[in-house]
Structure formats: structure tokens, C-alpha cells
Amino acid sequence: MRCLIKNNLKPRKGDALLFFSLHLDATTDPLSLHGSCPAIEGEKWSATKWIHVRSFETPSSVCEDQNPNCPQWATAGECENNPLYMVGSEDSVAHCRKSCKVCS
């Protein structure tokens, strides 16, 4: 990464830098990838606040597929091959609970 003077931001009290990592259709915006330059002198502070488009929480009582391809993926064995995405975990949302037949 090149650290150029013109890319430096001089913060003022109350300033915030916002950017969006997704397009309006929820696809990833590769132009949102970024980094930072090292502090030449003094200290550098930052705070991150994530704002999510939707909740990561899926109640275990909800028995539905979050993706229209779930039935085909389940038939192809993805419930076993890719369980984190398909059936979820304590820390990961399930996308294909119905097709993987893991509903209680």
C-alpha cells in the first residue's frame, strides 16, 4: 500500500469516516477494501462500529432455507461437506436448516 500525503485524513473532534462494504443488492463491494498507513509520529487511534444489514440471530424454532439453492446443495451433500454454512453453529447463522433436516 502506498501512503501518500493526499490520502491522509486530519481528524477533528466529532469527525467520523463511514464506508459501506456492500452494494444496495447486498453483494460485496471490492472497492471497500482498505488499509491504513503507519503513524509516523505520535499515536494512532481508531474505533470500529459494525452496522449489519440484518440480524445474525436465527431462532432455532425457525425452519426455513435462507437461499433458494439449499435443496440442490443438500442433495449434493453440502449439509455434511459445509455444515457451518448449511446448518450453522452457536456462532454462525444457518442458511439451509430445512433442506438439511436439522429443525427441531
Backbone angles phi, psi at 28, to 5 degrees: -65, 135
pLDDT tens profile 11-66 = 788 888 788 888 777 778 888 887 778 888 888 888 888 777 666 665 666 788 99
pTM (2 decimals)? 0.45
Query: DSSP letters of 6-48?
Result: GG-----TT------SB-TTS-B-GGG----PPPSSS------
CA 10/CA 47 separation, integer angstroms? 16
- Residue 74 pLDDT > 70: yes
Q: Is pLDDT larger for residue 40 or for residue 87?
A: 87
The reported pLDDT for the residue numbered 96 is 93
The reported pLDDT for the residue numbered 4 is 63
